[in-house]
Copies of this chain bind each other. A is one copy, B any other.
Amino acid sequence: MSTPQARRGNTRQRIQDVALELFSAQGYDKTSLREIAEKLEVTKAALYYHFKTKEDIVISLFQDLAGPIDDLIAWAQTQPRTLETKKELIRRYSESLRAGEPLFRFMQENQPAVRDLSIGESFKARMLTLFGLLKEPDAELTDQVRCITALFSMHAGMFAMQNLEGDPEEKRKAILEVATELVTAANPPNRRPARPDSAQTASP
Report which A residues bind B (CB closer than 8 A). Answer: 26-30, 109-113, 115, 124, 128, 141-142, 144-146, 148-149, 152-153, 156-157, 159-161, 163-164, 166, 170-171, 174-175, 177-178, 181-182, 185
Contacts and interface: CB of A to CB of B under 8 A. Distances in A.
Contact of A171 (B128, B141, B149, B175): B141
Main secondary structure of the interface of A (DSSP, over half): helix
A65 B50 CA distance: 45
Interface centre among A145, A152, A153, A185, by most B CB within 10 Å? Answer: A145
Contacts of A124: 163
| Identical chains in the assembly | 2
A153 B141 CA distance: 14
Contacts of A148: 156, 160-161, 164
A152 B160 contact: yes
A182 B177 CA distance: 12
B152 A164 contact: no
A27 B112 CA distance: 5
B177 A142 contact: yes
A30 B145 contact: no
A179 B104 CA distance: 24
Given A153-B153, A156-B156, A141 B170 contact: yes
B27 A174 contact: no
A100 B181 CA distance: 30
B178 A142 contact: yes
Contacts of A170: 141
**Those 8 A-B pairs whose CB atoms lie nearest each other, nearest first:** A27-B112, A29-B29, A141-B174, A109-B111, A149-B153, A142-B174, A145-B174, A145-B178
Contacts of A115: 27
Contact of A175 (B113, B145, B166): B145
Nearest to A167: B141
Contacts of A175: 145
Contacts of A157: 145
